[in-house]
Structure 1
């Protein structure tokens, strides 16, 4: 071997070990200049230095990974990471869909779907050992097929989106707050543990973890190169999923992030001196407000006389749906919940998130048209509930056990989907109902 050949080998080894050394500890206090991140899908670096995984487009996904892979060796998978993120939905209180911190050998996550799959997997790869995927999800939509506990939860995922452990944080994930998460993985010896902490950014790391699970990652994480980063996806509804800063360390605790606090953290500084005055004011006007609300909700407008079906009270529908707990899906105007009326009839209750750009009368006129339709090819409208003070409508339909049509049109239910012949039959049936 010549001197030149030896020199080339030495330089190559130096570059190789330098790359892996850089990957064991890093801090992004903002992402100005891109930071060399591997971006794919809708992910982008904004001019403000924020990493945006998804915007307000529906059915999109975004990925962002640290450019250098982590090299796990000696059967050790311990690491510590912290990051600040926010989830800002297009429609208030309607998440769409969620994001995750992820470790994977495949930074492009081939074949991944958006929506409930969060850009991580698809229906055919769920639960497969070859995924070698570890993720901590921040989910804002409840999916019963994935055994989600609610629409505001944090979960630990191993090769599937059915979480091995999940919990509801005290913070609202979909309220646009700057939220900080800490993930500590200890895999030393026989002690296998994953701890997840969540708090409003700037309030400090909680003393107790939100999630703590005994998990051996040796069967999941490859003993080789793995990429760390973030993934997010939107569904029928959309949200902006953003990351403000990120710190990671495979040897010890991740470095602290000094970033602006969340909205709530800033507000606490100014609202505390005003609490007494606000409480007094609220006490003086509460009686007048309650009386006015009762009068408004009892008024019957012309469009309600046209609608014809039964008018339900809000309390009736709240009892029927057990507090709107069983989410069936999200549609163009809001969310749909399963319910059982007092007579035992199963129904689907749609909570219409009213658009302030459109008058309630104009919107209700469209609903009254549906109320007059009667055909076997159209779902029957049984009644409605109007909450004028919240500019909200609740519509009561027949319960369809096979789910909504869009699940079969867009393959979101995990099945084979509908053939083109079947789709044409559906169009003909709907057209016949509207003639």
Structure 2
């Protein structure tokens, strides 16, 4: 069967692939967009609780993790949150800012997918879904893709198939296999923006499942001040998801359980209300069950007035730097994104093209660039997809 020819083939109809295909098509390129799933944009649809946290107005390069922290600068500078917001507004999609610069649709994430599909259709992109990519080859300057039982060729190929996070949505490590096939290196992928699991001495905290509190969480040099949530398996919530991207197995996570409490607050409580126990002093600041568990761990029975200032200062310091030792994460099944991926050392930061394979590109989550929680990964998808779409 003869192959059908295009100017470019984009593998993966997620955020980055849709953006790349639409931008290239708008430049007059004949673009084929392929996805093994039965519909496009599945991860977009579930994002942000179904309302799609589509960007973050505070996007800056240092909120992205990569073996090369400078790699994302070029693409992010050339396609900004304001650019995507302008696109959203042109399509009449109402949106709002929640916290920390996060923008969400007022209605549904379906609006973002519909917008991207409309842009692709307007640009003449041929979108096909529901078949596996069985084979990809490169000979005589052309890539040939076997999609189901059909063959397509093009001089340019874009890898936009994401990472292995959320496999129930069809996510796989296909991008890495393809990259290795063409001699590109892959930075070891690991789950990111993912709940942490607790065991050993920390298992007691799993009994607090469902309790949330504002904290400051630290892993390595990274620190985030948001809510933490105790779960039946360990720790979650925005602060924990954020530090999970920086956490490495075997390392501790340090949590300030009372980030708003002033220094010396426990000694002041002793002087103001000497007859209350530690549990009551904590209960005035944090949920009762959490206060009870922490007081039990601190082992200061009796009234505050019966405790020495040194013991109370030590307890305050421990509360400000409580050390958890996670025994793992909830894995790719619960990870929102992936840290690692196709090495940026192999790619041009200007065009996203492989340095050693002309006209082979990689964009989005498939690449070793991972953003913070809160719309940053979508902005990388739009920016990297745009960068490749402008040149393929």
Structure number with higher helix proportion: 2
Identify which of structures 1 and 2 has the higher relative contact order when contacts are C-alpha pairs closer than 8 Å and 6+ apart: 2
Q: TM-score if structure 2 supplies the norm length?
A: 0.21
Larger C-alpha radius of gyration, 1 or 2? 1
